[in-house]
Each structure stands twice: as C-alpha cells, then as structure tokens.
Chains A and B, each alone.
Chain A
Amino acid sequence: MRTRYSEDQQAVSEAFGELFARESTAEAVRAAEAGCGFDRGLWDKLALAGAPGMAAPATDGGGGASLVDLAVVVHEWGRRIASVPLVEHAVVARLLCTGAGRSAPDGLREAVVSGELVATLALRPAAAGGTARLVPAGAVADVVAGLRDGDLVLGRGEPPGQARPNTADLPLADRDLSDAVILATGGSARGAFDAALTEWKALMSVAYAGLATEVLAMGVAYVKQRHQFGVPVGSFQAVQHGLADAATRAEGARLLAFRAACAVDAANAGADRLASMALLFSAESARFASDRVLQYHGGYGYSAEYDVQLYYRRAAAWLLQLGEPASEIARLSDAEFGPKVGAA
C-alpha cells in the first residue's frame, strides 16, 4: 500500500508539470478561449511526448502505462486547465485497443494512439437521428466514439472547428454519428462504453483535484500579498478558515480520486461506484475551492484580467459535460437501493 507517487510517477509528474506550466500559461488558455477551445501547438507537443497513447498497450504502439500513471499526468493537466482533450482522447485510445473497440477500421487505432488524430468520447448517447449533442472536444476531434441506438459506434469526419458558445469556452459541439461505423452491439457495446465512461470519471476526478490544488495555490499567494486594513488579507481568520475547509476537501478529493483510479486498474468490483463518487466529490470540491478563492480576491476575482475566473468556470463546466449531477447521484442510488418504486 502506497498512497504517494512512486519515484517514477514523481518524475512523470514533474516532467509534465513543467510542460503544462510552460505551454499552458493563462495567456495560452485565454488564446484558446478566443478560438475554439483547442491549443493545437500544445497537442502536438503532448503527442511528441507520448501522452495521448500513454495508457494504451505497448503492443498497439502505446506507452503501456496504467490508468494511475496516466492520472498523474492528468493531475498536471487539471492544474493548468490545458486546452486539449487529453482525458477523452486517452480513454478512447484505450477503448480502441480492447475487446469490442479493436474492430475499428484499419489505421484508426494507430493514428489515435499516436495522437495524429484527435479522438473524443460522446459522454451521452446520440439522440434519435444519430446526433450526439454537446460532445466534449466535439469541435476539434477527428474521431468520435459513442453510443447510438445501443450500439458502440465510431465516427470519423471533419470536425466543425467551431464550438457552441459556452460558460467555460470548452470545445463543445454537436456531432452527427448517423454514418458512424458500428464497433459492437448489445451488451458488449454497453460494457465497452461503460468501461470507458468509468475511466473518464476516474480521470476527471483527478483533473478536478489538480484544478482545486492550483486554484488554492493561486488564492494563497494572493491573500499573502494583498493588504487591507494594513495587514495581509490572509492573516484574517475568516479567510484562513475558508481556505482551510477548501484545502481539506481538495485533499480528500485527491485521495478519493486516485483511490478510484487504482480500483479501476485493479478491476475491483466497486470501481465504477468509486469513480462516480470521486467525480461528484472532486467536482464539488473544485467548485468550492474556486468559489472561495474568487471571493477572497474581492472585485479582482470577478475581473476578466485575473486567472481565478478561468478556473471558476471550468470547475462548473467539466462535470456538466456528462449531464446533471443529480442524474449521476440517481444512478448511484439506483445501484445502492434499487430503482425507485413507481419510477418509469
């Protein structure tokens, strides 16, 4: 049992931490927001570093890393709210290398694992008619995996290159999956999709922990240097206690998130439950942390000039790509208590 990074994981964390800090500056994030929410230059650098296929099997040209190893990178991605669909892509890369996903058309798997093509996961099934709405990274992905009429499908097509305007300037777009090829049907389709979705939840919960860590660091730095009434704002106990509560939740979120990723790696029976719980808790923690930090910035926190608003908006938006949090809670409660009597 080891709840800290191994030496290798520490090295990976530092290397990618530096890369994201250098390449995904607040300026770069703002530049991506002005476009379609995607930083192509950063994506190419990540592809060069092997990140998109890092957790795909080595036999398929991937890095052969575990989900937890990938989560170490995702934590750094979350800290810098980087404008690349690393999580969706990595999950689809793994999907295409396992079971049902292996039936993808020739060449696609290799191109996704290498990062040459950008892939994403439509988190919600396509509507009747085959359109998947508000797909994460839908504006920029070359390949979209998802569910259509209960089938696992893979769509390949020119991305629209334009996002639907949204709270966090994420590259959300609708994608037509009516022509997408079927990879699997029935139970195996659902199983493969759910496995990918569980991985997405575990990884996004780690990303949220990263977001919370960074926004707290930003808040601490600010309240130490900002003076009011002749003293640093951070010397006021009201401010300290708000930040302490946020830090406590953020650390709890980080531990639960990595614990969930470990459970997914170990194929534990409760991994899906834990990933879902981790996502809900870490999203809530990240929102709380960014809310406190924005508040303690005073008016500047609300201004576009300061960076906390970038985090505040993403803290809300990342989870909502999946749907309403209440639906996720309902899914968990159905599993715990059985479906509601009288419910459809």
Chain B
Amino acid sequence: MDFRLPAQAEAFRAEVQEFLAEHLTAEMIAATRDGTIHSPGLHRAIADRGWLSGAVPAELGGGGMDPVELCVLLEELQLHQAPADALGVAVVTVSMILEHGNDFLRAEAVPRLLSGEALGCFGYSEPESGSDVAAARTRAVRDGDGWIINGSKMWTTLAHVADYVLLLTRTDPDVPKHRGLTFFVVPLDTPGIEIRPVATMGTERSNATFYDDVRLGDEWRLGEVNGGWDVMKTALKYERGIAGGQFPSPPVIEAAIDWARTARRADRPRPIDDDTVRHRLVQAMIDVEVCRSFAYHTAALASQGEMFGVEGSMTKLFASESYKKHCAWFLDMMGAEGLLTHDDPGAHMDGLIEEHFRHAPVTAIYGGTSEINRNLVAEGWLGLPRSRS
C-alpha cells in the first residue's frame, strides 16, 4: 500500500500548473458568468496540448493517459476553477463513438471533437424522466433508410454552443423500457431542432431542446437499434474516468479564509479568531482530504486496470454533499456581506462564496443524484435488496 503519487505524476502536476498559468486567465473564469461554463480558448489549448485525446482510453485508440495523471489534471483544473466542463463531455462522446460508432461517425465527428473544434452535449434527461433515464420518450421512427425524431430533452447544457447532441431515443415503445432505446449522434444544426435557454438559480445556463420531425440518416445511429441501454452503460463507464467534481470546495475554503482574515467587525474579534469559524474551516479541510483520498484511490484502481464502480458513487456523493455544507457554513460566516453578488462592487472576492452557494445544489443532482448514488452504495457495496422496480 502506498498512497504517494509517483514522481512522474507530480512532475506532470507541475506541467499542468505551468500550462494553467499561461492559458487560464481571470477573464476566462469571469466570462462564465454569462452562463456558459465553457471557454473555447482554454478548451482548444487543452486539446492542442494533447490532453483531450490523451484522456481517451488507449484500447479505443486514444492517448491512454495514465489515470493517475488524468486525476492530477482534473484536480488542478478544479483547484484553479478552470471552466473545463466540455472536456469531460468531449472525452465521453469520443469514447462512445469509438466503441459503438460506424466508420462514418468516426470520420465525421471524432477528429473535430478531439481537436477541440467541435463540442458535444448530452441528451439523456427529459421533462418527464431524469434519474429514471431509461424511461425516455423522445421517439425515433424509421423513415425509409433514415429516421424521424420527435420529442424533447431537458438539461442539454452546452447545447447552445455545441455541435452534436448524444441523443437517447425510444425506438420500440412495446417492450420493457430498457430494451426499446436507441442512441443517435445528432448535429445540432439539423432542421427541426430548437434550443431554448433554461435559467438556473446558479450562474450557469442550461437548455431544453426540442425535436420536431427531425430527419436523420441511419449513419448517425450510435450502436444497435434497441441497443441503446448498452450504449448508455458505456457512457456511465467512461464518465467515471473523466468525471471531475472531487474538488469543488477548495476555492470556497480559500475565499472563506481570506474573508476571515480580513473582515473587520465592530467590537468583535476577526472571524479567523473565532472558534466556530476556525473549526468549520478545519472540518472543511478534512472533508477535502477525504475527497482527495477517494480521488487518488479510484485513479490508482483505474491505473491498475481495475474497473471500479461504487467507489465513484461514494466519491461523488461525499464531495457534492460536503461542498453544499461548506458553502452554507461560509455564507453564514459572512452574514449580510455574504449575500452580495459579483454585480456589487463591494462583494468579497467578486461574490465567489455566494456564487458557489447558489451553484452547489446542482452538483448533488446532475451526473447521478445523491439518492441514486445512495441506492448504488446500498445495493452494490452493502448487498442490500433493490428497493425500487
């Protein structure tokens, strides 16, 4: 047993830090306030450096970056608040196309996604189905050699800047729900697609996308007809390798320390000299070390070729739930000043803590809710009976 990162991974960390010092600007981070958590410049730079293709598994023809180094890359991106959500989406999309796609899709979409020129987005959730993803109702019906698609998707975040949507559709409504699904890679400029913004409590903008008699050639199909659930399972598999989210709290903790050291309150000690504040800061730092232990553990398992599952659920559950707790603690610590948003010139650090407070709840929802993850831990780790049909 040895939890120390190999020297090579630490050297790679230095390389990532240098890269971010050169390419990640405060403007890029601030620009995400328009709602789009994506920076084309940064995304291209990451792709140019080879880290996007590098993150695609070697057995699929990707760079097969060592999972421990990939973990370090994701850690540094998160610690620096780099708007890099599109990286994970691109890696998962490419991996799915390489595993399930035909020659046309491989030639058409993969090079553009790998170069960072094109972006993907996920079309799984619908207005009536979120966690129960296999209940998707968006219909794809045979039309000669091609398909006609009708329906709607929710939470197609990035769709307004993306080129492709990975679309989960129903091709057979008369069989059990998992057996009548089919995946498509759909170019978002196809006639009949409408993208409407969905505003959120946080800073980010999501989308609802509508599909009205969208005609698509069969070459855009990903995987077998009615084999969509198998494709979905590989999406979840690839997401595990590239999913960030283990380190949402450190920027909030740093900002909280800064505030605690600098805030002046009449007739009262500085917050940093207040026991409750000190204890919460330390508790939050402990939680971060737990997240780091989980992250290094799953990376080490992947590095040794071990397919982990429930550990990923635990990591996500713990990281997002503790992040929510930290945001609430430090918002409380600031009192009325904590409520000021980045639009107010007097907001501490451009309202960073306040912004994280509004963002935090979504992290316990997207990519598998805390409830779904608890189900997975109960069934897959503890061996308890399945509690739902």
* Residues of A bordering B, CB below 8 Å: 1-6, 9, 68, 72, 216, 220, 223-224, 232, 234-237, 240-241, 243-245, 247-249, 251-253, 255-256, 258-259, 262-263, 266, 268, 274, 277-278, 280-281, 326, 329-330, 332-333, 336-337, 340-343
Contact = CB atoms under 8 A, between A and B. Distances in A.
Most buried by A among B5, B273, B282, B385: B282
B1 A277 contact: no
B68 A252 contact: no
A30 B317 CA distance: 37
Interface string B364-383: 00000001011101100111
Given A240-B384, A244-B382, A255-B294, A341 B269 contact: yes
A333 B289 contact: no
Given A244-B378, A247-B377, A341-B270, A336 B285 contact: yes
Contact of A342 (B269, B303, B374, B375): B269
A4 B299 CA distance: 12
Contact of B2 (A262, A326, A342): A262
Nearest to A237: B387
Listed residue (A5, A235, A259, A278) with the most chain B CB atoms within 10 angstroms of its CB? A259
B314 A243 contact: no
Given A3-B297, A223-B384, A252-B293, A240 B374 contact: yes
B286 A244 contact: no
Contacts of B2: 1-2, 68, 262
B314 A252 contact: yes
Contact of B384 (A220, A252, A268, A280): A220
27 contacts: A1-B3, A3-B297, A4-B300, A72-B1, A234-B385, A235-B387, A237-B375, A237-B388, A240-B382, A244-B378, A244-B381, A252-B290, A252-B314, A255-B3, A255-B294, A255-B296, A259-B3, A259-B293, A262-B1, A262-B3, A262-B4, A281-B286, A281-B290, A336-B281, A337-B257, A340-B273, A341-B269
Interface residues of B, number: 53
A266 B270 CA distance: 37
Contacts of A244: 317, 373-375, 377-378, 381-382
A248 B377 contact: yes
B1 A247 contact: no
B318 A2 contact: no
A3 B273 contact: no
Interface of B: 1-6, 9, 68, 257, 260-261, 269-270, 272-273, 275, 278-279, 281-283, 285-287, 289-291, 293-294, 296-297, 299-301, 303-304, 311, 314, 317-318, 371, 373-375, 377-378, 381-385, 387-388
Contacts of B6: 1
Contact of B1 (A2, A223, A241, A251): A2
Contacts of A268: 4
Interface centre among B279, B311, B384 (most CB of A within 10 A): B384
Contact of A249 (B311, B318, B378): B318
Contacts of B377: 244, 247-248
Nearest to A254: B293
B303 A1 contact: yes
A286 to B, nearest CB: 14
Contacts of B282: 329, 332-333, 336
Contacts of B294: 251-252, 255
Contacts of A255: 3, 290, 293-294, 296-297
Nearest to A72: B1
B275 A256 contact: no
A320 to B, nearest CB: 17
A137 B289 CA distance: 31
A247 B381 contact: yes
A329 B279 contact: yes
Nearest to A66: B1
A77 to B, nearest CB: 17
A252 B374 contact: no
A330 B279 CA distance: 7
A4 B385 CA distance: 27
Contacts of B290: 252-253, 255-256, 281
A7 to B, nearest CB: 11
Contacts of A343: 273
**Which of A224, A241, A248 gathers most chain B CB within 10 Å?**
A248
Given A235-B384, A266-B4, A277-B289, A240 B300 contact: no
A216 B378 CA distance: 11
Contact of B278 (A248, A278, A340): A340
Chain B CB within 10 Å — which of A5, A6, A235, A251 has the most? A251
A337 B387 contact: no
A9 B304 CA distance: 17
B278 A258 contact: no
B385 A280 contact: no
B351 to A, nearest CB: 23
Nearest to B382: A220
Best-surrounded residue of A244, A252, A329, A333 (most CB of chain B within 10 A): A244
Contact of A1 (B68, B269, B317, B387): B68
